Structure 1
Amino acid sequence: VNFTMSDLKIVSLNVKGINNVIKRQKILTLMKKENTKIALLSETHLTDNEHLKLRRNWVGQVFYSSHNSKSRGAAILIHRSLPFTLEKTMSDNDGRYVLISGYLYGEHILIGCIYGPNIYEATFFPKLLLDIASVHTPYIVVVGDFNCIHNPDVDQSPPRSTTTSRKSLNQPYPQKR
């Protein structure tokens, strides 16, 4: 049986913390039942050692970015049957994102999981976009919780002014002078 990238089941979840062993096991069991091949988990709240414990059962490879066990965290889980060969891992030091580039079914691909800051941080998106742009591939999958809204007038209930701490995707970041 030949598989291609179009046969992949990719699941992205904001898990809002998976320090609880039962919650973590339920999520992994659900993904196995759903035949998930790549899982992208944001807001994991796990330490480095706890992220490594996600490699069990159907999970063959785990890539992550940790902050502490109380907040943030992003993880990419790759099914053990996927022929993924890692080329490079990129992440920030704040547990906000993890990007992996490598080869899947012989094709160069970039996969990323994001957990964006929920208040404005001037350096976050520029650094993330530079890391993404550093990988030259036609296949890019970047998902997660960006903690942004497209248009505050229609994407918030009730609508709030753009002067609040929420980031809007159509508000330009301040330019350095």
Structure 2
Amino acid sequence: MAGSSSHITILTLNVNGLNAPIKRHRLANWIKSQDPSVCCIQETHLTRRDIHRLKIKGWRKIYQANGEQKKAGVAILVSDKTDFKPSKIKRDKEGHYIMVKGSIQQEELTILNIYAPNTGAPRFIKQVLRDLQRDLDSHTIIMGDFNTPLSTLDRSTRQKVNKDIQELNSSLQQADLIDIYRTLHPKSTEYTFFSAPHR
């Protein structure tokens, strides 16, 4: 972070459901082995009544957005080793996004974790960015599972670049948002989850 010798690491992962205890255990072990400052997860499939299920030793700061049904669901987990003080939290009632604003290692930071619906993802993301635009600034990190390929490298050969994706990319550029993964890995085609079209 600017003016500081410390740094933070942020990971994101689509977990494709955490209702089974074995999956929660595997996630906890993976997070502990990676040892990030912050971990954002999508598609927890937890309901509002299930918030107590997501527990990881050394990770007491867990912010979740879950719906009424066992679908969607997102969470932002902050390591106990990380000096984090939240100042504002906004949750989607369906569990498709959570925004946490605060200070981390004495630096202001906004983290927005999105799990976009399978259909209409570009329009959904544009709407979230519009709804939260007053909260997003140059200290914002947006991550998650957008359920839409923003780059041609992220598309299967059968997928076309449609108008919605073009408009979303335009909106991201207008907001001065940068795809950090694509910047650091301009030719990579690796994913944390492969759906049938990508295999």
TM-score, normalising length: structure 1: 0.80
* Equivalence for 2:93: 93
Q: Which residue number corresponds to residue 63 of structure 1?
A: 63
SS of 1:95's equivalent in the other structure is coil
What do residues 46-81 of structure 1 show as CA deviations (whole Å, max 9, x unaligned)? 112423332330212111111245310110011112
User: Which amino acid counterpart does residue 7 of structure 2 have in structure 1?
Assistant: D
SS in 1 for 2:17: coil
Residue 8 of structure 1 pairs with residue 8 of structure 2: yes
Aligned pairs (5 A) from 1:69-88: 69-88=69-88
State the AA in 2 paired with 1:83.
D
Q: Distance in 2 between matches of 1:76 and 1:86?
A: 12
Aligned partner of 2:165 in structure 1 is 169
Q: Corresponding residue for 2:157?
A: 158
Distance 1:44 1:14 in 2: 8
8 A contact 1:151–1:170 mirrored in 2:
no
Query: Quick one: which amino acid aligns to residue 142 of structure 2?
Result: V
In 2: Cα distance, 1:92 partner to 1:5 partner: 35
Provide the C-alpha distance between the structure 1 equivalents of 2:13 and 2:122, rounded to a whole number of angstroms: 25
Structure with the larger helix share: 2
Q: Which amino acid is the alignment partner of residue 148 of structure 1? A: T
Corresponding residue of 1:175 = none
User: CA, structure 1 residues 106+21, in 2 after alignment: closer, same or farther (shift >3 Å)?
Assistant: same
Please, what TM-score do these two structures have when normalized by structure 2? 0.72
Root mean square deviation, CA, Å = 2.6
CA distance in 2: counterparts of 1:171 and 1:104, whole angstroms: 32
1:36 and 1:14 mapped to 2: Cα distance? 16
The one-letter code sitting in structure 2 at the alignment partner of 1:159 is R
Give a deviation string over 1:125-163, Cα, whole Å, max 9, x none.
Answer: 2431134422254321111100112357x6432324457
CA distance in 2, matches of 1:137, 1:122: 21
- State the SS of the aligned residue for 1:129: helix
CA 1:162–1:107: 2 relative to 1, 3 Å: closer
Q: Evaluate the alpha carbon distance shift between residue 168 and residue 6 of structure 1 in structure 2; reply closer, same or farther with a 3 A threshold.
A: farther
- Identity among equivalent pairs (%): 27
Q: Which amino acid aligns with 1:170?
A: Q
Contact 1:65 1:92 in 2 (8 A): yes
> Please, which runs of 5 or more residues in structure 1 have no aligned partner?
173-177
Q: Does 1:147 align with 2:143?
A: no
Residue correspondences, number: 166
